[in-house]
Structure 1
């Protein structure tokens, strides 16, 4: 098997669906939420007060800075899915076009990158999470089974003169660097 999806062991009996393409020419595999999930609106979390403080105060104090980081910290929606692929492949996670319109959800860094060595890692078995922020005026309710993103398998290239990394992945989400 070259590439594909599996359900992580902690969701084995939860009736999850493997990611799927909805139409014959769809490039992306739709990922569903593994759980019911509430994504709070950033506006509900004093976002305007933090923006006002940053705009009007010459020195932003530590408390305001911490509050801003907390408000803009993405939420991770579990999918219960892991992906296997070739060593020269990557799974790119992208937003669904309907997410900003229907739920006001966006992926804060534009895309997610799932490396081949994330599969079956020790810390979380390689479970894929969709990272989102809710810019809507109200909380976004995501039900188990709702499509929350899409994944595209792609080959990638490396530079001719690169010094090959020697380090092996030691953990899960965000573990390959600072």
Structure 2
């Protein structure tokens, strides 16, 4: 049985997308690459496609952080600081669970994010719920930002 991992979304099959890897023996994060070359203008937020979706256990979450060198070297950061990918985001009917990274250019110049550039890292984690957590029966149908609709 598959416990957790990454897959390429159907719209990016055969487009040279690399599955994330840890770079060292004790790295916690899996490096995520941009699936396309994107220009982010100053003071602009753009969604950067990864071409990936993630599967995990129901009590797990994938947390996504910008790579630590990116703000210093490139002048961009994740607009939401930390991305949260819930287990039910995988294969949702709106976007197949495609992980998109909202990147904000805080510099004074356009920034080019190149296809294949490692820009973020994902860490799988267990999460806890409160003792008297009310059951929720709603099924996710949408993609980015859909759980608050």
TM-score by length of 2: 0.96
2: CA distance, partners of 1:156 / 1:133: 28
Residue in 1 aligned with 2:21? 20
- Larger helix fraction of residues: 1
2: CA distance, partners of 1:110 / 1:172: 18
Indicate the structure (1 or 2) with the bigger Cα radius of gyration: 1
Shift of 1:131: 1.0
SS state at 1:176 partner: helix
Note if 1:162 corresponds to 2:133: yes
- Larger strand fraction of residues: 2
Q: Is the 8 A contact 1:93 1:150 kept in 2?
A: yes
Match 1:151 to one of 107, 122, 141: 122
Shift of 1:114: 0.2
SS state at 2:51 partner: strand
Match 1:140 to one of 94, 98, 111: 111
Number of residue pairs the alignment of both structures matches: 148
SS state at 1:149 partner: strand
Shift of 1:75: 1.2
2: CA distance, partners of 1:126 / 1:40: 26
1:8-63 alpha-carbon deviations (Å, 9 max, x no partner)? 01111101100111111110000000000001111xxxxxxxxxxxxxxxxxxxxx
Structural RMSD (CA):
0.9
2: CA distance, partners of 1:114 / 1:28: 14
Q: Is the 8 A contact 1:130 1:148 kept in 2?
A: no
Shift of 1:171: 0.8
Residue in 2 aligned with 1:31? 32
2: CA distance, partners of 1:133 / 1:39: 8
Note if 1:111 corresponds to 2:112: no
Runs of 4+ in 1 over 2 A off after TM superposition: none
1: CA distance, partners of 2:100 / 2:69: 18
Match 1:80 to one of 51, 60, 83: 51
SS state at 2:70 partner: helix
2: CA distance, partners of 1:13 / 1:86: 27
2: CA distance, partners of 1:25 / 1:139: 35
Unaligned ranges ≥5, structure 1: 43-70
